[in-house]
Amino acid sequence: MKPILNFLEKIEPDKEKSPFLHTLFDGFHTFLFSPNHVTKDGVHVRDAMDLKRTMVLVVLALQLCYVFGTYNIGHQHYLALGLHTEGFFDGLGAKLLYGLLQILPIFIVAHVVGLGIEFYFAAKKGHPIEEGFLVSGALIPLIMPPDIPLWMLALAVAFAVVIGKEAFGGTGMNVVNIALLARVFVFFAYPTEISGDLCWVSYDYNLLHSIFGMQAGTLEALGLDSLPEKFASFKAFALANTPDGWTGATPLGLAAKGGWDAVISSSQYSPSQMWWGTIPGSIGETCKPLVLLGTLMLLATKIASWRVMLSMLIGAVFTGFIMNITTGDPTSFLGVPWQYHFYMGSFFFAMAFMATDPVTAASTNTGKWIYGFFIGSIGMIIRVLNPAYPEGWMLAILFMNVFAPLIDHYVLESNISKRLKRITSAQ
């Protein structure tokens, strides 16, 4: 690596003459090599786990979600059209290719916009590029609908990075989770793109699919082999020719209208399908086992707090159990057995990758228990009792992000008070 390091040092742009180019160079340099400077005086700490490597490990823990999310985009697409319905491996290549060509533009736009803004602010402030967007940029595509318009995604990412992070001072200074702020922007600014039944399944063949010729056989089977004149109306055709047995509703949407009975009697979703993730939903949150594998990686590397995860689980179970005993109606959302709430929606993904964000979560150990419990409880309340949005973890986490500093403040004040009392009594 020494020759590469020497070469990079020779081509390093001047910081004063070309601040933006120097910022880009510095970001690339620190991605390849760890810093070679330490404190000059006194004792200093060397640790192989710096911020950059912490972020990289979180991104690695998300990769299984990316792989399955890519497959599920294609699977739901062809299932909606009544094609490749015989099982997991039926049309596997077409499903993976469709999903890849659908998720790739989402991933690229999220990173180009987010990193572009990060680079600009770093150059203007004259400091190195911060690694904070590595995780946010990996999370944002996974929590979006697979057919979200790219211009809408770009607006959401720009809003989240500028208003949610840079306005507060950059990485480590943001009050709320950046990835969730991008999603909540879409939710409130363009609600029909993220809160309906049909938005969770991608119908369109975009320009990339046309270039790669992926859809040739499919279009011929559908009678749309003359692509140029019919390309623009493909979504309308897909919706008009959707099989009668497929309604487009997600399990949460069905549960909100008719309880657990509506979900299992629809013949669309079994508990096994919901657990393994072959259902409509956000790109990365549907397959629970793979999310849990990523969770185990975060716990093994001690990057995420087990206290936040466990307390969030306890809060959701407690609130779900209370809801169950307050109603005897199995056709209501309140009557959905508490354990099946973990089969539907994005609880485990939110628990592992969102609630545990070390910047926006509570910092004290006692505070983490309080913070996580209320996310689980409030999220369940929003999911069940909010008729407009049958999911609650996004809003619950953002709500508790705001209260995390207050929780830590009172925990610290309580500890100080207890210690003062011990000192007083000892005297």
Question: CA torsion 131→134→135→137, rounded to 10°?
Answer: 140
Is the pLDDT confidence value at 231 over 50?
A: no
Tokens linked to 300 = 């093994």
Spatial distance between the Cα atoms of 184 and 382, rounded to a whole number of angstroms = 14
Is the pLDDT confidence value at 43 over 80?
A: no
DSSP 8-state code for residue 82: T
Domain residue spans in the chain? 2-32, 50-240, 261-427
pLDDT at 229: 44
pTM: 0.82
Report which of residues 227 and 290 the model is more confident about.
290
Report which of residues 298 and 20 the model is more confident about.
298
Spatial distance between the Cα atoms of 130 and 127, rounded to a whole number of angstroms = 9
Backbone φ and ψ for 31, nearest 5 degrees, come out as: -70, -35
Would you call 390 helix, strand, or coil by DSSP?
A: coil
Question: CA torsion 398→403→404→409, rounded to 10°?
Answer: 170
Sort 353 into a burial class: Cβ within 10 Å, 0-12 / 13-18 / 19+.
buried
* Residue-level length of the chain: 427
∠ CA(302), CA(369), CA(177), 5° rounding? 70
pLDDT at 246: 46
pLDDT at 5: 62
For tokens 């911060």, name the residue: 130
Is the pLDDT confidence value at 225 over 50?
A: no
- The CA radius of gyration of the chain, in Å to the nearest whole number, is 24
Report which of residues 367 and 225 the model is more confident about.
367
Per-residue pLDDT tens over the stretch 149-163 = 899 999 999 999 999
Backbone φ and ψ for 158, nearest 5 degrees, come out as: -60, -45
Q: Which of 16-30, 299-313, 314-328 has the lowest mean pLDDT?
A: 16-30
CB 30 within 8 A of CB 129: yes
The separation between CA 67 and the C-alpha centre of its own chain, rounded to angstroms, equals 14
Closest CA to 30 of 60, 2, 63, 5: 5
Tokens linked to 337 = 């057995």
Per-residue pLDDT tens over the stretch 388-402 = 776 889 999 999 999
For the ranges 78-82, 260-264, 342-346, 402-406, the maximum mean pLDDT occurs at 402-406
Helix ranges restricted to H, 126-244 = 133-142, 150-164, 178-189, 207-212, 216-221, 227-230, 234-240
- Cβ partners under 8 Å of residue 392, min gap 6: 378, 379, 380, 381, 382, 383, 384, 386
DSSP string, 144-169: S-TT--HHHHHHHHHHHHHHHTGGGT
CA distances from 7 to 26, 179, 389 (A): 14, 36, 54
pLDDT at 372: 96
CA distances from 4 to 10, 14, 33 (A): 10, 19, 10
CA distances from 26 to 22, 132, 235 (A): 6, 15, 45
Is the pLDDT confidence value at 46 over 70?
A: no
- Where do the DSSP E strands lie in 8-99? none
Spatial distance between the Cα atoms of 292 and 175, rounded to a whole number of angstroms = 27
pLDDT at 104: 93
Evaluated on CA atoms 212, 216, 222, 225, the torsion sign reads positive
- Average pLDDT, stretch 37-64? 71
DSSP 8-state code for residue 349: H
pLDDT at 355: 93
Spatial distance between the Cα atoms of 83 and 340, rounded to a whole number of angstroms = 29
How many CB atoms lie under 10 A from the CB of residue 56?
Answer: 16
Closest CA to 123 of 9, 14, 24: 24
- Average pLDDT, stretch 35-46? 56
